[in-house]
Amino acid sequence: MKFYKVGFFIVFIFFIWFGYTTISSSPESKQARTMEANNVLNEKDQVVVNSTSSTENKQFAELENYLQDEPILDGALVGISIRSASTGDLLYDSLGDTRLKPASNMKLITGFAALSVLGEDHRFTTEILTNGDITENRLDGDLYIKGKGDPTLLPEDFKLLAKKVQESGIQTINGDIIGDDTWYDDVRLSRGLNWSDEHWYYGAQISALTASPNKDYDAGSIIVEVHPSDQAGDKPKVIISPKVDYIEIQNNAKTVSANQEEDVTLNRKHGTNIFTIDGTIPVDSSSVKEWMSVWEPTGYVLDLFKQSLKEQGITWNGTWKTGRVKDGSEVLYSHKSMPLSELFVPFMKLSNNAHAEVMVKEMGKVVHGEGSWEKGMEVIEAELEKAGIDATKLDLRDGSGISHANLLTPNAISSLLYRARQEEWFPVYLHSLPDAGNPERMLGGTLRYRMADLPVQAKTGTIAGVSTLSGYVESKSGETVIFSILVNNLVDEDDGPQVVDQIVKKIYEIF
């Protein structure tokens, strides 16, 4: 019996010794020992720092202290990934593989895929077609306007299209005017869009046949301006741009005396194009100006096209409606948009959501023959896989980042930004990013009032509780560094940029 006890004790000691040596010699343990020597730790999470410089480690510690001590970040999640632009090596990682909401940093992914799949020379087409004969300035048949996704069509473009109809010899249409938007599917809003966003320009519906009010190219939207009356008690003046019969204004607002508060509220009744204006505006107040989305952009286009046809003296005896171009119809004129390389400037610098969603559907149409979010997102995921990023560990719901269900990791974003630098189209991609502190709107974009003293080109992102920034910075030493900063769970997202900018400044100093 004593023999068995002694034998059991010897076996027990052997297993303890074997387990210790096995664990301590494993790759994970070796990595842990290296991290213990080189990494900076804080109380919130473990951070990977690939540095042997004591000066850099001290600066990283200062960054960690800032993240720990900044009151705005209490209860928030801060994911940071920093890479060398020349090698792609990961230099710093805090929650780098944690899935976080990217907000408009999602556009970096969509833009990468669009340039890879569609190409920088890709253009969107709008066609004018007929399915009848033209005799004695009369078209015996229908006139079609077929959209293929162009988000840059302006009111003046419809004047050009109408003029082309007139130049083809048509003065009278013995038929209907038909808008064909079937290049894409009829799903107008992306999955996960918040209901409270859908009446604003950044939540506009996506149609293959759409229009923009000005050269910001906010497709599917109009501009509503409210001006105070000269007399207190009167209704304010409302101006719509462009002027269309497609919408209805219900003006319930009132002009009040100069010493009262401006409190004007604009809305659109869901499922309609009835825009309501409520509240008060003082007689000496500046105007209130908002960009608002329309319900069903195809009808918006038909209204603009009809107006332009009338200006050219063209009449018709049929109706106007949506439908599909009949087989055998003849193309009278084909209008081309600007190339994707030019569209990328307002897309990225102004963070245009509609452009992102159009690109998603266009990629689905080009690759899979179906202009839908489902097929477009499949294309984006495939491009991520080609770039060496595991898309199964991410959750992608749209192209713009407006959905709170989108989930990316800082390391995935920084890795993609490194891969982008290897592509021939990278100059287009880089030029499209907002240039920090540049006061020119189409250069500085959403960063024109931020970090004027830092050489930063990066994409901003903001949704409720989220503030993000990812891009490139030329560090104090002259080295280009890639960074991705995703801040989630903020009490007030408006506090985010000041924190993010401080982090970028520290990155600039460290490298």
pLDDT tens, position by position, 387-440: 999 999 999 999 999 999 999 999 999 999 999 999 999 999 999 999 999 999
Q: State yes or no: is 104 an active-site residue.
A: yes
Answer yes or no: is 194 within a domain.
no
pLDDT at residue 50, rounded to an integer = 63
Q: Mark whether 320 and 356 lie in a shared domain.
A: no
Q: CB–CB of 154/304 below 8 Å? A: no
pLDDT at residue 307, rounded to an integer = 97
Q: Mark whether 379 and 483 lie in a shared domain.
A: yes
Q: Where are the beta strands (DSSP E) in 207-287?
A: 221-227, 237-241, 248-251, 254-256, 263-268, 274-282
Q: Mark whether 418 and 477 lie in a shared domain.
A: yes
Q: Mark whether 392 and 457 lie in a shared domain.
A: yes
Alpha-carbon distance values, 131 to 140, 199, 318, 325, 330 (Å): 8, 36, 14, 8, 6
Helix locations, 293-351, DSSP H: 297-311, 340-349
pLDDT tens, position by position, 184-219: 999 999 989 999 999 999 999 999 999 999 999 999
Q: Mark whether 229 and 274 lie in a shared domain.
A: yes
Answer yes or no: is 428 within a domain.
yes
- Say which of 104, 190, 308, 341 is annotated catalytic: 104
Answer yes or no: is 204 within a domain.
no
- In the predicted model, what is the mean pLDDT of residues 46-65? 70
Q: Mark whether 353 and 484 lie in a shared domain.
A: yes
- Per the structure, the count of domains in the chain is 4
Answer yes or no: is 198 within a domain.
no
Q: Mark whether 99 and 33 lie in a shared domain.
A: no
Q: Mark whether 420 and 365 lie in a shared domain.
A: yes
pLDDT tens, position by position, 287-331: 999 999 999 999 999 999 999 999 999 999 999 999 999 999 999
Answer yes or no: is 226 within a domain.
yes
Q: What are phi and psi of 392, to 5 degrees?
A: -70, -15
pLDDT band at 337 (very low <50, low <70, confident <90, very high): very high
Q: Mark whether 96 and 130 lie in a shared domain.
A: no
Q: State yes or no: is 289 an active-site residue.
A: no
Answer yes or no: is 136 within a domain.
yes
Q: State yes or no: is 107 an active-site residue.
A: yes
What CATH number did the domain enclosing 62 receive? 3.40.710.10
Domain of 332 in residue numbering reads as 125-188+297-336
pLDDT band at 53 (very low <50, low <70, confident <90, very high): low
Q: Mark whether 325 and 348 lie in a shared domain.
A: no
The CA distance from 213 to 204, in Å, is: 13
Answer yes or no: is 205 within a domain.
no
- Say which of 101, 107, 254, 306 is annotated catalytic: 107
Q: Mark whether 390 and 450 lie in a shared domain.
A: yes
- Say which of 351, 432, 467, 484 is annotated catalytic: 351
Answer yes or no: is 215 within a domain.
no
Q: Mark whether 61 and 96 lie in a shared domain.
A: yes
